[in-house]
Amino acid sequence: MRVRLSVNGASQEHEVEPRLLLVHYLREVVGLTGTNVGCDTSSCGACTVLMDGESIKSCTVLAVQADGTEITTIEGMAQDGAMHPIQEAFREHHALQCGYCTPGMVMAAASLLKEHADLTEAEVREGLEGNLCRCTGYHNIVKAVLAAAGDREALV
């Protein structure tokens, strides 16, 4: 089947198998390997990307279902060589260790920040419940997201 979509602002058009998952399409067909796979039960969130601005687990969506949408992956977050404020906050607060959860976590955090005007710690924790991290104990991830929330001016 044919899919036509935009990935990080660039249009893509490919012939794909109907059963191909969006995450595999992004990784193997488009060649963007920043988005990771951490499970096979849609539990971990490592594959989180934005579809038309909203975060989705790209292992739960078929590539063909993404036809006509705009997808943003971690590779599309920095603009003109400058990191997105969430990326900056992650670095500043040491919110990543092995980095495997990080792309998904950053995308989930971006969408969380867009959806909520003010965020409490509890809301950040609830909001990121579907994104697992084995390294950080979440402490610095929460701190980074709250810092980015406090710095909304800098958010586009």
Partner 1 sequence: MSILGNRVVRKEDPKFLTSGGTYVDDLKIDGAARVTYVRSTSAHARIRSVDIDEARSAPGVLAVVTAADIELDPLPLEMPMLNEKMPQPWLATDVVRYVGEPVVAIVSETQAEGADAAELIFIDYEPLPVLVDTEGALEGSIVLHPEAGTNVSFELQFGRDESLFDGCEVVVRRRVNNQRVAPCPLEVRAVAARWEDDGRLTQWSSTQAPHSVRDALAKAYGLFEDEVHVISPDVGGGFGAKIGGYPDELLIAWLARRVGRPLKWTETRSESMVALGHGRAQLQDIEIGGSRDGTIGAYRLTVLQDSGAYPRVGALLSFMTRTMASGTYRIPKVDFNSRSVVTNTTPVVSYRGAGRPEATAAIERAVDLFAAEIGMDPAEVRRRNLVPPDAFPFTTPLGTTYDVGDYGRALELALEASGYADLRKEQARRREAGEVRQLGIGLSAYVEITNGVPGSEFAAVEVRENGTAVVRTGTSPHGQGHVTSWAMLVSDALGIPIDSIEVVHGDTDVVPRGVGTFGSRSLQVGGVAAHQAAGQVVDKARQLAAKLLEADPADVVLDKVGQRFHVAGTPAVAKSWGELAREASSEPGGLSAETDFTPPGATFPFGCHVAVVEVDTETGKVTIERLVAVDDAGRILNPLVAEGQIQGGLAQGAAQALLEQVAYDDDGNPLTANLADYTFVSAAEVPSFETTSMETPTPVNELGAKGIGESGTIGSTPAVQNAVVDALSHLGVRHVDMPATPERVWQAIAAAR
* 136 counts as binding ligand FES under rule CB under 6 A: yes
Pairwise CA distance, residues 112 & 123, whole Å:
9
- Residue 96 as a binder of ligand FES (CB under 6 A): the answer is yes
The whole-angstrom separation of Cα 9 and Cα 39 is 28
> What secondary structure does DSSP assign to 109-137, as a single string?
HHHHHHH-SS--HHHHHHHTTTS--SSST
Q: Least distance (Å) from ligand FES to the CB of residue 70?
A: 20
The correct pick among 53, 99, 137, 150 for binding ligand FES (CB under 6 A) is 99
- Under the criterion CB under 8 A, does residue 131 sit at the interface with partner 1? yes
Q: Which residues contact 41 (CB under 8 A, 6 or more apart)?
A: none
Q: Which is nearer to partner 1, 68 or 143 (CB)?
A: 143
Applying CB under 6 A, which of residues 20, 29, 37, 83 lies at the interface with ligand FES?
A: 37
**H or E stretch covering 150:** helix 139-150
Does an H or E element contain 89, and which?
helix 85-92
Q: Can you name the residues that pair with 5 across neighbouring β-strands?
A: 12
State the residues that interact with partner 1 by CB under 8 A: 17, 19, 27, 33-41, 43-44, 46, 74-75, 77-78, 83, 87, 90-92, 94, 96-103, 106, 121, 124-126, 128-143
State the residues that interact with ligand FES by CB under 6 A: 37-39, 42-47, 57, 59, 96-102, 133-136
